[in-house]
Amino acid sequence: MRLSFHGACSEVTGSNILIESRNQKILLDCGLFQGPRLHEEKNFSGFGYSPSEINALVLCHAHLDHVGRTPKLVKEGFRGRIYSTGPTKELAQLVLADNEKLMHDEVEKHGGELLYDLADLERTVPLFETIPYGERIEIVPGIKLTLLNAGHILGSCVCVIEAEGKKLAYTSDLGNNPSLLLESPTRVASADYLISESTYGGRTHEDINLRTQKLAWVLENTIKDSGVLLIPSFAIERTQELLHDIDHFCSIEGCNRPMFYLDSPLAQKVTAVYGKYPEFLGSNIRSNHLDNDFFGLERVQITQTVDESKEINDAPSPKVIIAGAGMMNGGRILHHAKRYLPDSKNTLLIVGYQAKGSLGRRILDGDTEVKIHGERVPVNAKVKAIGSYSAHADAPQLENYIKSIAGLKRVFFVHGEPEESQAIANTVSTKIGIVSIIPETGKYYEL
């Protein structure tokens, strides 16, 4: 069995792993590169292999950095099956269609080419084949696949591949435990090799139990200052967790003010998918919401159209606006940021990972002026962050997960900035005694 890595090597986006075994070729994830423009141009480069020679693709969850180049793979000749859970299939279709629209708008404004179009997406959808957690199937001759709950987002999975008498596990993105919405990640009993994410490989998250207190503090100060609270949020998982926490806060405190706006058509569609697959949610949230209203949507004003989004500007403060995109690299959050960042009464609350070079990362790192839609915008608003909203395992959680897998000979660390990957690699090699490798893009590794 031979591995090669074609994205997310010493970086967080672009996950794409090739497995070759006895003339069969399968991919794990096919993600988009995200970040500064030069970084995103990598999406238009070749894959490093021939898409027409790939026999199967496994999509482990529906974030763009794991599924975003799938239609491009089809455009360039892939005709195999795409394996995923049911929620991943539905969520992937939503985010890929939304991304196509964003790309189309960008090309219309600034020129350039589309990475893929709707015709490519329409050719992609019929290739999906969904499988449940825990079912072991032969996806191509000689290669068996089992999907286990990863606890990251709805339908996310740890992939276990068996071929040539060897067992390889891939975490994709491993969830932060405990999760309000999902069950804890399922442990892999044994494996010979592991490919692990390392997003927070050198960090420990703040106490997850404090996050509702921090959110309450930010909300209370927004009300006191009669300000605007902007929350750039990822449409999948982060928005749903925020809605759940806001509902919890309002149920206890009573919220006549401020007004809450969910200004993300994609997030609205994603939230509907969560309601469609309650069996993929954690047992605690299911038992506490027998009516399947997990997110208190009656408290939130949902805006669908562009005109409805613009009308938020006329609403009096205090108000809370949750909008995409989560790294502020597009979407409706940019229009609100242009309007509200210059005012010191307002607050920008960061609740998710911000890739290097993204607008959200630059603001979080302290930039006092940013460019949005070609205009220079001063950042006078307060900038706050709640780290415990992360959907990724931190360093202690990664270490414990790896330690629990019997028989490991080698671990490959991907999906992390260099210092994060190196930190967890050092921990695993010194404390657990397992050979740890930070793979290079395009390099082959024989198992």
Q: What is the pLDDT of residue 51?
A: 98
d(CA 380, CA 338): 11
Contact 358, 327 (CB under 8 A): yes
- pLDDT of 288 over the 90 cut: no
Closest among 322, 260, 19 to 145, alpha carbons compared: 19
Q: What is the pLDDT of residue 257?
A: 57
d(CA 368, CA 377): 9
d(CA 309, CA 234): 17
Q: How many CB atoms lie within 10 A of CB 273?
A: 21
Q: Tell me the two tokens of residue 43.
A: 């999406």
d(CA 82, CA 100): 19
Domain residue spans of the chain: 2-203+391-446, 208-389
Q: Average pLDDT, stretch 381-408?
A: 94
pLDDT digits (tens, 9 = 90+) for 83-132: 999 999 999 999 999 999 989 988 888 888 999 999 999 999 999 999 99
Helix/strand/coil for 21 = strand
Mean pLDDT over the full length of the chain: 91
pLDDT digits (tens, 9 = 90+) for 115-174: 999 999 999 999 999 999 999 999 999 999 999 999 999 999 999 999 999 999 999 999
* Class at the top of the CATH hierarchy for domain 208-389: alpha beta
d(CA 79, CA 75): 9
Closest among 381, 386, 385, 357 to 368, alpha carbons compared: 381
- pLDDT of 431 over the 90 cut: yes
d(CA 362, CA 350): 12
Contact 207, 176 (CB under 8 A): no
In the chain, what percentage of residues exceed pLDDT 70? 94
pTM here? Answer: 0.89
Angle at 345 between CA 339 and CA 347, to 5 degrees: 70
Q: Tell me the two tokens of residue 13.
A: 């986006």
d(CA 81, CA 343): 51
Q: Tell me the two tokens of residue 412.
A: 């490959």
Bridge pairing between strands 259-263 and 81-84: unpaired
Closest among 171, 205, 218 to 412, alpha carbons compared: 171
d(CA 421, CA 202): 8
* Class at the top of the CATH hierarchy for domain 2-203+391-446: alpha beta
CB-based burial of residue 181 (10 Å sphere; 0-12 exposed, 13-18 middle, 19+ buried)?
buried
Alpha helices in 114-229 (DSSP H): 118-124, 211-224
**Cross-sheet strand order for the sheet of 347-350:** 300-302, 259-263, 319-323, 228-232, 347-350, 382-385
